[in-house]
Amino acid sequence: MGPEELGLAMVALAERKGARVRTIVGESLLHENYPLIHAVGRASSRTPRLLDLRWGDEHAPKVTLVGKGVCFDSGGLDLKSSANMKLMKKDMGGAAHVLGLASMIMDAKLPVRLRVLVPAVENSVSANAFRPLDVLRSRKGLTVEVGNTDAEGRLILADCLAEADREKPALLIDLATLTGAARTALGPDLPALFTADDKLAEEILSAGTQLADPMWRLPLWKPYRRMLDSKTADISSASDSAHAGAITAALFLQEFVSPTTPWAHIDVFSWNQAPRPGRPEGGEAMGLRALFHLIALRYPL
């Protein structure tokens, strides 16, 4: 299933819950200033799109969820190996997570103005694929040098985070199957949590402990920002270093969010590699119960 099918899943959810969805497709992404989403998805015959769901009272506290929707990831011109490509149908796990969390919020009728942003793309190889060392302009206006075409998730998230941040939400959470480095550090079962907001981190980690739905906080270590320096753009999308890959990815995303916005980035594996009791092999929700608990505590009925 590709970007269109992911969009249909969001529309079906919206119809069941009384929400509304706006979809920006193909060249319209350029007209509406989502250039990074367009660049990543343009090589595929399955047209890229931005999915934008809204629900709830416009005057309620704004809770915005952003989910990585790479429906298949070949790695682009920096092609993945065949072994690493095998799981890449799950690279829309972040999108699946935010749709699941949105469904829980709407079912509970929490008193929030919910917005869900999903950039839905396929990262493919063709004559018009974006290239390593291309310089792209983002929605925020920052120029980005493409350090690696297989670091595409952070590009599409950047445009969405910039749009989400524009509204100054009371809470902004993104979920993404973003880096292998997070799995090297924490393994497949523990999502990596990044936030500059210590209070928010404590609340998320506490919720995870209470519900046996754990996460582990990793630092937004600012000295590593130098690894993303570029000679030709405001920032590089990926470091040449083999070190701290999950941290540098999170630092890249942080560039597109205001320091005053309560923001958390969660890097999830979103997959069970083998069956366990109650957890069959395949797609897995990680952190959803903890995040719902956090939101329900912050914005009680």
The burial class, CB within 10 Å (0-12 / 13-18 / 19+), for 76 is: buried
Q: Is 199 a catalytic residue?
A: no
Burial of 16 by CB count in 10 Å (0-12 exposed, 13-18 middle, 19+ buried)? exposed
Whether the CB-CB separation of 191 and 261 falls below 8 Å is answered with no
Strand partners, 153: none
Catalytic residue of the set 17, 54, 80, 217: 80
Cα 278 to Cα 264: distance, rounded to the nearest angstrom: 28
Three-class SS of 54-108: EECCCCCCEEEEEECEEEEECCCCCCCCHHHHCCHHHHHHHHHHHHHHHHHHHHH
| Catalytic position from the list 49, 115, 139, 154 | 154
Give catalytic status of residue 46 as yes or no. Answer: no
By annotation, the residues acting in catalysis are 80, 154
